A and B are shown apart, each in its own frame.
Chain A
Amino acid sequence: MSIAIPHPAVCLLASSAEPLVRRFDFFEHLIEPWTRNVEFTGWIVAMGVFVAVPCAVLGCFLVLRGKALLGDAISHALLAGLAGAFLVTGSRGAVAMIAGAVAAGLLTVVLIELIHRRTRVKEDASIAVVFSTLFALGVVLITRFTEGVDLDAHCVLYGEIEMSWLRPDRVKTMGGVAVAVVVAAVLFFKELKITSFDAATATALGIPAAAVHYALMAAVSVTVVSGMEAVGAILVVAMLIAPGATAYLLTDRLARMVLLAAGLGAVSAVVGFHVALWLDCSTAGAIAVVSFGMFLVTWLASPRHGVLLRVLRRWQLATRIARENFLRAAFNLRPSPAPEAVVGASVLGEQLRMLPADLRKYCRRLQRDGWIECDPEDQVRLTDKGFRQARRIVRAHRLWETYLVNQVGIALDHAHPDAEEIEHLLSERLLDRVDDLLGHPVHDPHGKRIPRPPELLAAGAETHLARLREGDVALIRGIDGSATGEVLSRIAALALPLGAEIQVVGQSGEVDWTIRCPDGTQRRVDHPLADAIRVEIRRPVLRA
C-alpha cells in the first residue's frame, strides 16, 4: 500500500466501512433488547450474572487471602484437567469435566505449595511455573490424543457467552453452580471469614484452616470450569478479582464486602452486555472492561480510600499551610502591635523567600479571599479575618515552643522547627488545654508575647481566674463544676466574696495570682484554684 498515513483520528473515522466506536443509540442498545429480543437478552444476561455472582463471592476471599492470582492460575491449569479427564473417561460429560477440573485445581494449589514451601523459589514464581506447565501439558494432550474433540483454546480464552440463548441448559447448569456456591458461602461464612483473616486463631478454635483453604480452591475450580465455557478464562479471572477488589475499597466489613462484590459483579454483567451490543464486540471482553472500569472509578473516587479525595485533601492542607505561613509572617513583621499596621511586601517576600512576581500574585489571591488588603504601594495590611487567623497561628506556635522547652525539656534553639510544623495542625481545644497546662504563660521562651483571642478577655466575657493578668478587673461568678473535694475546700477557705469586684495586683511565675478584694484585703490564689474559679471580666488591660 502506498497511501500516506493520515492522522489516526481521521483514520478511525473515515477509512473503514464502520468506525471503531459506533454511535450509541438509546433505544437500539438499551431498550430494545428488553422489549423485542427478550429471550436472547435474558439468557445471555442470566449467564453473565450466574458467572459473575459466584466468582465475585469467591473472589472476595481470594483477594483477602492474597491469592488473587491463584484463580488465574487455576483457570489456565484446568486445561490439563479437562484433557486428562477426557483421556481417562473418554467422555465430555459434566461429571467427568467437573472431576477433572477439581483435580487440576487442587493439583495446581498443591504443586505451588510444594515448590514455594520446600525451596527458596517464592510463591509468585511457583505460580508462574505451575500454571504455564499445566497449560502446556493440556495443549499437548489435546493436540496429541484428542483429535477433533471440541476442546477449544479460542473458547478457553474468549468464551462464547453470546451463544447462551441457543443453549439454555448450560445457563441452567451455571445457575445451579451459582446457587450452590452462594449457599455454601453462606453456610460456611464463619469458617471462611476466620480462616481468611487469621488462620492461626482458626486452628486454635478447631476450624481446619487447610481443609477450608482446599475446599475454597475446589469451589473456585468448579466455578471456573463451569464459567469458562460460557465466558472464557479471562472474564472468569476478571470476575474473580475486580468486584472483590472494588468492594474491598468500599467497606471494611466482610459480609458487606461479599454482598457488594456480588452486586457489582451482576451489574457489570448487565452493563457489559449493553456495551457489547453498542460496540458490536465480544460480550466477555466488555464485561471484563466494565468491571475494571468500576474498579478504577471506585479507586479514584471512593469516599474512604479514593485517590482523588486524598489528593484534594492534601492540596487543601498545603494551601492552608502556605496561607497561614504568609499571615503569620505579616503578623510578626508588623512594625507596631496595632492590628491595622502595614508591612512592606518586599520584607514579606524576603522572609518567605518568594519571588516578587509570585508574591504579588499570591497577595492578590489572598486579598480576593479577604485575608489581607494590599494597597498600590505594595503595603500589606491584615484584615480582621486575617488578623484573627494570624493570631491563632502565632499563639499555637509560641505555646508549642513553650511546651517543648518547659515540659518536654527540648533545647530552646531546637523547638522552632517542630513548632513550625505542628502549628497548623493543633486544634483550638487542644491549644486551650496546652495553655492551661503551662499556666497561661504571658511570654514564650524567646521572650515574645503569646497572643490570645481578645474575645475571651473582653468586658463581659466569662472565663477562669487563671486567664487574668496584672491589672485586670473582674467579678467573682462562682466555682467551676469540675472542681473536686480538695480544691473546693481550699476555695472555701479563701472566703472569696461571691459577685464582688476584684483586681489582680500581682502575678508571679505564672503559678500564682494575688487579688485585691473590695474590702482591701489581698489573697493569693494558686494555679489549681485559679483554674476552678469562674470570673466575669469588667475592665481588662490591653494585651497584644
Chain B
Amino acid sequence: MMASADMLAFGMPRILAARVESTAGLWEQLGAFFSFQHVSLVYGVVGAVLLGVCCGLLGSFVVLRKMSLLGDSIGHAVLPGICLAFVVVQTKNALAIFAGAIISGVLASLVISVISRYSRIKSDTAVGLALSGFFGLGIILLTRIQRMAYGDQSGLDRYMFGDAAALGRGDLQLMGLVTLVVVLVISLFFRYFLATSFDESFAASIGMPVRLIQVALMTLLALAIVIALQAVGVVLVSAMLITPAATAYLLTDRLGRMLALSALLGVLSGFVGVLLSFLLNRIPTGPCMVLAATTWFGLAYLLSPRQGVAIRAIRRSRRSRRVRLENLLKTFYHELGGEGLDQPVTLERLARARSETVGYVRRVAGTLAASGLAGLAGDRLTLTSVGQQRARQIIRNHRLWELYLTQEARIAADHVHRDAEEIEHVLGEEIVARLEAGLDHPDLDPHGHEIPRVKG
C-alpha cells in the first residue's frame, strides 16, 4: 500500500530536480523556474498550457449543454479501454492505449445517451451507472493484468492519478496534436457547435446534422479527457474541463468570448498549477492546477460584473441605502406640509412619523448629512437646497405615479399607494418628464395633494 503522496506525485523527482535547493528562498526558486532550464519543467509547463487550451474550449460546450458530469464519467470509463489495449498490444504503446481509451470513452457516452433515451432513468443516474460500471470493469482488468505475468505494467496507474511533471516528449506531441485537432474542428464548425449548444431543435430545423455534431463533440471530449488524464488524473479531469468554462460563463454572454476566456483561464490554471507545485515542493501538480482554476472561479463568483454574488449584494445594499435616505426625505416633506422646506425638524418628530426609533433616524440623518443633503445640528435636521430638491422629486414621483395608475390604468385611488411607494425610488428623470407630459402637467394627485414642481 502506497501513501497517496507517493501515488500522486509519481515521477515528481524529475521536476523537483530543477529546484535550486530546498532551503533556498522564494526568489531564487522563482528565478530557477522562470529560467526554464530544466527540460522536465518546460515539458510540464507546455503540457499544462496545451491542456488548458484544449479543455477550456471543449468545456465551454459541455457546460452550456449541461453535460458537465459526462466528463467525469468518460474519464472513469476510459480505464477498461486502456487495460484492454495493454492486454492486446502487450506493451505500453501510447497510441494503442490512446485508441483503447477513446473507444471505451465514446462507448460509455453512447451507453449513457441510450439508457437515458430509452428508459425512465434520468440522465444523471445514467451517468453514474456508466461511470461505476465501466470503472468497475477497468478495475477488474487492472487487477487481472497485475496478476498475469505481464512485463512492465507500471504506469497504467498514471492514467488514474496523473502527473503533469512526468510528461514525456511523446506525450506532448500527442497533446499538441489533439489540441490542434480540437482548435481546428471548433473553428471550422463554430456555427454548428454554437447553434446546437443553445437550441438543438432550431439547429435541426435549419438542417444541421445535430446527431453527428453531438457524436463529434463526444469524440473530441474523449480525446481531450484521455490526454488530460495523464496530467491530472481521473478525478480531477472534470475540474480542468468544467471549472474554467464555468468561470468564463459567469463573465460573458457571447460564446466566442466565452471560448477564448475559458481557454485563457485554462492556460492560466495550468501554468500557475505547475508553478505552485514547484514552489510548494512535494505538492502534486494536478491538485494545484485544480485549486488555481477554482480560485479564478471563486473570484468570478464573487466579483463578476453582472453575475458576481458580492457585486450584486453591494448593489442591493446601495439600493436599500438610497431607499432609506429617500424615505426620510419624504417624511421630512410630509412633516413640513410642503411649505418652507428650509425649516428644521427634530429627529424625534421624524422618528414618530416613520414609526422608527430615534437611533435609526439619527443614523440615516447622519448619512444624509454626510452626502450633503442635510445639515444636522444636535437633534434638529435641516435640508440643504439639494436635499429639498430631492425631497420634492421623490414626492412628485410618488404622486405622479398614483395619478398615472388611477387615470391610465384605472386602479382605485385607495389601491395605488403601495405600488407608488415602491416605484418612486426607481423612476428616472426622463420617464418622470414623459409621465408629466402624458398626464398634462397635473397639479393635484388623486388624493387631492399638490404635486410639487421641481425647478430645473
Assembly CA distance A139 to B282 (angstroms): 11
B441 CB to closest chain A CB, in angstroms?
Answer: 44
Known: A68-B125, A68-B128, A144-B283. A285 touches B137 (CB 8 A): yes
Q: Are A115 and B301 in contact (CB under 8 A)?
A: yes
What is the 8 Å Cβ interface bit string for chain A, positions 1-14, against chain B (1 contact, 0 not)? Answer: 10001001001100
Q: Are A279 and B290 in contact (CB under 8 A)?
A: no
What are 12 inter-chain pairs, A to B, with CB distance below 8 A? Answer: A68-B124, A128-B72, A129-B239, A139-B284, A144-B283, A153-B4, A154-B4, A155-B1, A281-B144, A281-B147, A285-B138, A291-B132
Q: Which residue of B lies closest to A139 (CB)?
A: B287
Assembly CA distance A300 to B150 (angstroms): 37
Q: A491 an interface residue at 8 Å Cβ cutoff? A: no
Q: Are A154 and B7 in contact (CB under 8 A)?
A: yes
Assembly CA distance A8 to B85 (angstroms): 10
Assembly CA distance A66 to B125 (angstroms): 7
Which residues of the other chain, A, contact B128 by a CB distance below 8 angstroms? 68-69, 71-72, 237, 240-241
Q: B120 an interface residue at 8 Å Cβ cutoff? A: yes
What is the 8 Å Cβ interface bit string for chain A, positions 190-226, against chain B (1 contact, 0 not)? Answer: 0000000000000000000000000000000000000
Assembly CA distance A242 to B309 (angstroms): 37
Known: A128-B239, A133-B239, A154-B4. A11 touches B122 (CB 8 A): no
Q: B388 an interface residue at 8 Å Cβ cutoff? A: no
Q: Are A119 and B309 in contact (CB under 8 A)?
A: yes
Assembly CA distance A281 to B280 (angstroms): 38
What is the 8 Å Cβ interface bit string for chain A, positions 123-161, against chain B (1 contact, 0 not)? Answer: 011111100110111011011100111111111111010
Q: Which residue of B1, B119, B129 is within 8 Å of A305 (Cβ)?
A: B119
Assembly CA distance A280 to B145 (angstroms): 10
Q: How many residues of B contact A (CB 8 A)?
A: 76
Q: A235 an interface residue at 8 Å Cβ cutoff? A: yes
B73 CB to closest chain A CB, in angstroms?
Answer: 9
Q: Are A132 and B150 in contact (CB under 8 A)?
A: no
Known: A66-B124, A128-B238, A140-B288. A284 touches B5 (CB 8 A): no
Which residues of the other chain, B, contact A150 by a CB distance below 8 angstroms? 1, 3
Which residues of the other chain, A, contact B76 by a CB distance below 8 angstroms? 234
Q: Which residue of A lies closest to B313 (CB)?
A: A118
Q: Which residue of B135, B140, B235, B242 is within 8 Å of A76 (Cβ)?
A: B235
Q: Which residue of B87, B288, B291, B307 is within 8 Å of A120 (Cβ)?
A: B307
B60 CB to closest chain A CB, in angstroms?
Answer: 11
Q: B89 an interface residue at 8 Å Cβ cutoff? A: yes
Interface-facing stretch out of A15-23, A87-95, A357-365, A439-447? A15-23
Q: A321 an interface residue at 8 Å Cβ cutoff? A: no
Q: Are B148 and A17 in contact (CB under 8 A)?
A: yes
Q: Which residue of B66, B148, B161 is within 8 Å of A124 (Cβ)?
A: B66
What is the 8 Å Cβ interface bit string for chain A, positions 239-259, against chain B (1 contact, 0 not)? Answer: 011101100110000000000
Q: Are A17 and B250 in contact (CB under 8 A)?
A: no
Q: A51 an interface residue at 8 Å Cβ cutoff? A: no
Which residues of the other chain, B, contact A20 by a CB distance below 8 angstroms? 87, 141, 144, 148
Which residues of the other chain, B, contact A129 by a CB distance below 8 angstroms? 239, 242-243, 246, 294, 297
Which residues of the other chain, A, contact B3 by a CB distance below 8 angstroms? 148-152
Assembly CA distance A1 to B92 (angstroms): 11
Q: Are B4 and A152 in contact (CB under 8 A)?
A: yes
Q: Which 6 A-B pairs have the closest CB atoms?
A: A288-B136, A292-B133, A285-B139, A132-B239, A153-B4, A238-B132
Q: Are B125 and A63 in contact (CB under 8 A)?
A: yes
User: In B234-279, which residues have CB < 8 Å from any A CB?
Assistant: 235-236, 238-239, 241-243, 245-246, 249-250
Known: A115-B301, A124-B124, A133-B294. A285 touches B282 (CB 8 A): no
Q: A121 an interface residue at 8 Å Cβ cutoff? A: yes
Which residues of the other chain, A, contact B250 by a CB distance below 8 angstroms? 119-121
Assembly CA distance A305 to B121 (angstroms): 10
Report which residue of A71, A129, A282 has the largest number of chain B beta carbons within 10 angstroms of its beta carbon: A129
Q: B143 an interface residue at 8 Å Cβ cutoff? A: yes
Which residues of the other chain, A, contact B307 by a CB distance below 8 angstroms? 119-120
B118 CB to closest chain A CB, in angstroms?
Answer: 5
Q: A286 an interface residue at 8 Å Cβ cutoff? A: yes
Q: A329 an interface residue at 8 Å Cβ cutoff? A: no
Q: Which residue of A lies closest to B76 (CB)?
A: A234
Assembly CA distance A148 to B5 (angstroms): 9
Which residues of the other chain, B, contact A144 by a CB distance below 8 angstroms? 280, 282-283
Q: Are A280 and B144 in contact (CB under 8 A)?
A: yes
Q: Are A234 and B235 in contact (CB under 8 A)?
A: no
Which residues of the other chain, A, contact B91 by a CB distance below 8 angstroms? 1
Assembly CA distance A293 to B243 (angstroms): 33
Q: Are A152 and B140 in contact (CB under 8 A)?
A: no
Q: Are B136 and A132 in contact (CB under 8 A)?
A: no
Assembly CA distance A269 to B449 (angstroms): 81
Q: A287 an interface residue at 8 Å Cβ cutoff? A: yes
Q: Are B4 and A143 in contact (CB under 8 A)?
A: yes
Which residues of the other chain, A, contact B119 by a CB distance below 8 angstroms? 249, 299, 305, 307
Assembly CA distance A154 to B291 (angstroms): 21
Q: Which residue of B lies closest to A76 (CB)?
A: B235
Q: Are A287 and B239 in contact (CB under 8 A)?
A: no
Q: B115 an interface residue at 8 Å Cβ cutoff? A: yes
B455 CB to closest chain A CB, in angstroms?
Answer: 44
What is the 8 Å Cβ interface bit string for chain B, positions 45-62, against chain A (1 contact, 0 not)? Answer: 000000000000000000
A224 CB to closest chain B CB, in angstroms?
Answer: 13
Q: Are B243 and A18 in contact (CB under 8 A)?
A: no
Report which residue of B90, B161, B241 has the largest number of chain A beta carbons within 10 angstroms of its beta carbon: B90
Which residues of the other chain, B, contact A128 by a CB distance below 8 angstroms? 68-69, 71-72, 238-239, 241-243, 246
Q: A122 an interface residue at 8 Å Cβ cutoff? A: yes
Q: A289 an interface residue at 8 Å Cβ cutoff? A: yes
Q: Are B150 and A282 in contact (CB under 8 A)?
A: no
Q: A295 an interface residue at 8 Å Cβ cutoff? A: yes
Q: Which residue of B1, B121, B288 is within 8 Å of A152 (Cβ)?
A: B1
Q: A125-B249, A139-B8 are in contact. List 8 more A-B contacts (CB 8 A).
A: A120-B249, A125-B242, A133-B243, A152-B2, A234-B132, A245-B125, A248-B121, A286-B136
Assembly CA distance A282 to B142 (angstroms): 9
Q: B377 an interface residue at 8 Å Cβ cutoff? A: no
What is the 8 Å Cβ interface bit string for chain B, positions 98-142, against chain A (1 contact, 0 not)? Answer: 000000000000000001001111101101110111011111111
